[in-house]
Amino acid sequence: MDLDLDQHLADASALIAEAADLDALGALDTELLGRKSVVTEARRGLGDLDPDRRREAGSRLNDARAALEGLLEGRRVELEAGERTVRLEAERMDLTELDRGRRLGHRHVVTQTWERLEDLFVGMGYTVAEGPEIEDEWHNFGALNFPPGHPARDMYDTLYVDYGDPLSTLLRTHTSPVQIRVMETEEPPIYSIMPGRVFRSDTADATHMPVFHQIEALVIDRDITFGDLAGTLEAFTTAYFGAGFTSRLRPSYFPFTEPSAEFDIRRPDGSWLELGGCGMVHPNVLRAGGLDPEEWSGFAFGFGLDRLALMRHGIDDLRELFRNDHRFLSQF
């Protein structure tokens, strides 16, 4: 065989290195390895050789072919990487050019409700207070006039925390314990609201969640009457819901208020919605908060905050609020 394979490989190597793009490389692939290529033609000529020379030449051709394939493949990888870089560069998006107005995130619908309520009560002269989510039994129950073993404790499916004495530490079941914390730290007159997260061992369904939100109000002053409570709730109702809404009170029972009531709001279509509980702060609760019931009186109320968010937006399943599906939440 008079073919100079070394020279052929050197020439091919130079051509491959110069291939400017994948198309040019494809053409070279055909030229160097295809049916009419030097190595293929040479293989055809092997049949004319005697067996020994044929074996030797065949093996050199195989090596040459493998070398060519390696060179082509190496260059292909290089060119592909280059083309990807070019493509990425061309497709690069300037994210700062997106329509900011529509794509910017916003507050969760519960947070919006929470802040509206705060704004409204702050506008009425109330301060905003907070208390711990992990509470002791005294603040969540005892100080609120639930004696140990009192059946009213069963109204709350309490989640206890494995800390300290058994049943001494819990996830607060309502925001009412913050009333006690406010009385402990502030001198009356007190006009405070206490929004927050509360916990009950409930199974999630369309109207219940094991974690939800309440807002509590506490007013302590001299000569506060039940009329003040009713008037405050009425003022709140029209301010929050609008002129077509009114409120009513129905007798009820809570250990920490006496008398106690449920308050409902009447929608413009005449239907009633039960919103929360309220009443005059029980003397035992005033005492637990370090106040003299002869000197001070007050009212309190508390209601679920999530339901307000549902109502306002006509959402009928509480769970939607907490699934955190962006497609849902972005509507509000």
Which stretches of the chain bind ligand DAH, using CB under 6 A? 174, 176, 216, 254, 257, 276-279, 300-302
Q: How far is the CB of 150 from ligand DAH (least distance, A)?
A: 14
- Amino acid identity, position 3: L
Q: How far is the CB of 302 from ligand DAH (least distance, A)?
A: 3
- Amino acid identity, position 309: A
CA nearest to 245, candidates 224, 217, 273, 212: 273
> Which residues, listed in sequence order, are joined to residue 245 by a DSSP beta bridge?
none
Angle in degrees, 0-180, between the axes of helices 22-33 and 5-18, rounded to the nearest 10: 170
Among residues 64 and 304, whose Cβ is nearest to ligand DAH? 304
Q: How far is the CB of 219 from ligand DAH (least distance, A)?
A: 10
Among residues 29 and 136, whose Cβ is nearest to ligand DAH? 136
Helix (H) or strand (E) holding 250: strand 246-254
**Strand runs (DSSP E) across 134-180, as ranges?**
134-136, 169-171
- Measured in whole angstroms, the distance separating CA 202 from the mean position of its chain's CA atoms is 21
Nearest-CB residue for ligand DAH: 277
Among residues 57 and 193, whose Cβ is nearest to ligand DAH? 193
Rounded Cα gap, residues 211 and 195, in angstroms? 14
Task: Using alpha carbons, list the distances in angstroms from residue 311 to 68, 109, 123, 187, 321.
Answer: 74, 11, 23, 36, 12
> Which residues, listed in sequence order, are joined to residue 263 by a DSSP beta bridge?
249, 276
Q: How far is the CB of 225 from ligand DAH (least distance, A)?
A: 15
Q: How far is the CB of 217 from ligand DAH (least distance, A)?
A: 7
DSSP letter at 187 equals P
Q: How far is the CB of 292 from ligand DAH (least distance, A)?
A: 20
With tokens 């507050």, the residue in question is: 107
Rounded Cα gap, residues 285 and 255, in angstroms? 9
Among residues 37 and 173, whose Cβ is nearest to ligand DAH? 173
Judged on CB neighbours under 10 Å (0-12, 13-18, 19+), 241 is: buried
Rounded Cα gap, residues 38 and 5, in angstroms? 9
Among residues 241 and 299, whose Cβ is nearest to ligand DAH? 299
Among residues 278 and 329, whose Cβ is nearest to ligand DAH? 278
Q: How far is the CB of 255 from ligand DAH (least distance, A)?
A: 9
Among residues 138 and 328, whose Cβ is nearest to ligand DAH? 138
Q: How far is the CB of 244 from ligand DAH (least distance, A)?
A: 26
Among residues 75 and 174, whose Cβ is nearest to ligand DAH? 174
